């Protein structure tokens, strides 16, 4: 893909596909246009995977956003391989705001997502991603570059493309659907671990990273499904992954990827309730991913105070005009 270098780096920092989807996707507000029933009875692996997809891809949400409130703002933190973390080398931090609309008025559109970088060299860069209901048609991404006063239009990335600077793929975060894998319920279990978090060295702590949460132990004792999902793609970067999924909320707490029998990556998500009647209504307080061989890790942190649900916003809000307006800030 011709624009897969610096521009994708800006896309990563903007977080459409990173947390814009992850953040937006994880909300299930009560004003859903097409409610997805809460499942009943014994479920198989595919049915569980479909619930996880619904919860984590915004199929129940009208609109949701993460917007700066006071000093609280969402952030993405990336670090180099463990062997390159020397004294004085700081993590790369980008703060951002995101806006998602999962029920556009046009039935041909599945969702509209927008993200704005709020700090660093890419400050003001905006990303708008529009996905189609017809999955045979690729989505379209518009990137607003304030320093150039220009917009770039890009087709959606490939599943295996990564956020440059992170160890997360577009497939993991938004593009992969249940039918892309074969799902097997291995067992029902109890989650008895703390979720991993980024462990910072003293020289890596600054005004942003000091706000990152530590390991989350609050999910200990929760009942989970343990599901093995095997990719249907050939010559893929993983053979299968095993995910521990909350039996009540269908929130995937931990996913471990395997290739040739070895662990290659672990991704954990600290899902927190939004105190709605439907227990599936939750949001990702943080996402942490670590690649085991290199030690490269990335963390997304979304303070609860930044989240707004079901705002009165017209579809026209998700537009290049809005990106240009935010780019002036």
In this prediction, residue 21 carries a pLDDT of 41
In this prediction, residue 24 carries a pLDDT of 36
What domains can be seen in the chain, in order of their start residue? 6-327 (2.50.20.10)
8 A C-beta contact, residue 39 and residue 53: no
Predicted confidence band at 328 (pLDDT cuts at 50, 70, 90)?
A: low
More confident residue, 62 or 286: 286
Choice among 114-123, 165-174, 236-245, 284-293 with the minimum mean pLDDT: 165-174
Alpha-carbon torsion (182, 186, 191, 196), positive or negative: negative
Q: By percentage, how much of the chain surpasses pLDDT 70? A: 86
Element (H, E) at 25: helix 21-25
Q: How far is the C-alpha of 185 from the C-alpha of 97, rounded, in Å?
A: 36
> What is the β-pairing status of strands 74-79 and 109-117?
unpaired
pTM value is: 0.86
- Give 3-46 pLDDT, tens digit per residue: 333 333 334 433 333 443 433 333 333 333 445 889 999 999 99
Average pLDDT, the chain: 84
Q: Rounded to 10 degrees, what is the CA torsion of 61, 63, 68, 72?
A: -10
C-alpha gyration radius of the chain: 19
Residues in contact with 54: Cβ distance below 8 Å, sequence separation at least 6, in sequence order: 36, 60, 250, 280
- Give 212-248 pLDDT, tens digit per residue: 999 999 999 999 999 999 999 999 999 999 999 999 9
């Amino acid at each position: 893909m011709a624009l897969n270098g610096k521009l994708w780096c800006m896309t990563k920092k903007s977080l459409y596909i990173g947390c814009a989807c992850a953040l937006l996707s994880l909300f299930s507000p009560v004003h859903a246009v097409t409610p997805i029933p809460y499942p009943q009875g014994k479920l198989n692996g595919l049915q569980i995977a479909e619930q996880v997809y619904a919860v984590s891809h915004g199929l129940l949400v009208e609109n949701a956003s993460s917007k700066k409130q006071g000093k609280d703002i969402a952030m993405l933190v990336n670090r180099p391989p463990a062997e390159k973390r020397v004294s004085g080398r700081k993590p790369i931090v980008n703060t951002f705001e995101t806006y998602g609309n999962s029920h556009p008025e046009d039935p041909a559109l599945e969702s509209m997502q927008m993200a704005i970088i709020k700090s660093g060299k890419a400050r003001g860069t905006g990303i708008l991603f529009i996905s189609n209901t017809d999955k045979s048609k690729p989505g379209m991404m518009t990137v607003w570059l304030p320093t150039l006063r220009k917009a770039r239009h890009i087709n959606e990335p490939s599943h295996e493309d990564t956020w440059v600077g992170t160890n997360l793929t577009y497939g993991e975060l938004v593009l992969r659907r249940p039918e892309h894998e074969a799902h097997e319920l291995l067992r029902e279990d109890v989650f008895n671990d703390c979720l991993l978090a980024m462990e910072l060295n003293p020289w890596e702590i600054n005004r942003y990273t000091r706000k990152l949460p530590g390991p989350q132990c609050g999910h200990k004792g929760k009942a989970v499904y343990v599901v093995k999902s095997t990719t249907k793609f050939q010559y893929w970067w993983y053979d299968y992954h095993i995910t521990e999924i909350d039996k009540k909320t269908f929130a995937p707490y931990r996913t471990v990827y395997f290739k040739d029998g070895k662990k290659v990556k672990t991704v954990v998500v600290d899902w927190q309730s939004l105190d709605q009647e439907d227990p599936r209504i939750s949001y990702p307080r943080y996402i942490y991913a670590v690649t085991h061989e290199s030690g490269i890790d990335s963390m997304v942190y979304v303070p609860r105070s930044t989240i707004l649900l079901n705002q009165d916003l017209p579809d026209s809000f998700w537009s290049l005009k809005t990106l240009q307006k935010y780019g002036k800030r």
